[in-house]
Structures are given as structure tokens and as C-alpha cells.
Amino acid sequence: MLYIIRKILVVLIFILPLFSWSGCKKQVKCGCDGDVLRSWDNQLMDRSSIRYGTDGASASFIISSGYYYDTYYFCNPGEMYDEYLDLEGEDQLLLSGDLFWECTYMMNSSGNSYYTYYYKVYNIKVTELKSYLYGKK
């Protein structure tokens, strides 16, 4: 009887790991053609917080909540440059688009450091920039 129980235990030791293995976890794709984290629809922001480079070649903005800072780099700064210039003189605007993880941030965040916890970096493919007329869309 003891011999049969021992054989059953040995077989279970080899078979149970096959059922408990859940496979490989899918790695999140970063960058502007990666996996969409979330979408923004009419996110209110100050126009002055968007920083454009020379001739619209690059654009970014930072959102701060007092404890952490999130940096957003435009995937398509050239496409949105004319819309940005058209909004000159506006204090606030509405921004819509899809958010992605920025690849350099993803590579450096694997260590779960203090820096990557409080300072996140995203790419954003902006689909629309429009004027915010104090509650009138």
C-alpha cells in the first residue's frame, strides 16, 4: 500500500507543474506603434505647457501632481504643429490622443527604482488639439 502511494506522489510531482504553468506573459510593446495604454478624449491643459522644438520637429509636455511628474512626447509633432500655431493666444486647450509607454523609460524601469515610480514617460499620438472656451466645446 505504501508503495502505491509513493508511486502516485512521484507521478503527481511530474504532472502538477504541467497544469500550473501559465505560459509566457506578453511583453508590453512600447513606442508610438506599441500597445495603447489608454486614450484621452478632450484632456484639458494649458497651452503654455506644450513645448515645441524648432519648426515643430519635436513636442512634449509635463503634468505634475505635486508628488510625481509625467512627461509626454508627441509621436506626431509635425502633424499637430499647424493646429498648435492656430491656437496662439489661447490660454487652455483640449487634447485628444492615444498614450503609449516610451521605450527608453520601459528599459530603465525594470529595476523599480524611485525615479521610475515618480517620473513616468509616455509617447502620445495626438489626434486633436482644439480651443477650450471656458466650458463651451
The mean pLDDT value for 11-21 works out to: 69
Identify which of 38, 31, 33, 34 has the alpha carbon closest to the alpha carbon of residue 99. 38
Q: What is the model's pLDDT at position 25?
A: 65
At 58 the pLDDT is: 94
pLDDT tens digits along 99-134: 999 988 888 776 666 666 778 899 999 999 999 876
What radius of gyration, in Å, describes the C-alpha atoms of the chain? 24
Q: If we measure between CA atoms, which residue out of 28, 39, 46 comes closest to residue 124? A: 39
**pLDDT at residue 96 in the model:** 96
pLDDT for 99: 95
pLDDT tens-digit map of 31-74: 999 899 999 999 999 988 999 998 889 999 999 877 788 999 99
Q: Options 3.30.70, 1.20.1070, 2.40.50, 2.60.40; which CATH number does 39-137 get?
A: 2.40.50
36 vs 3, more confident? 36
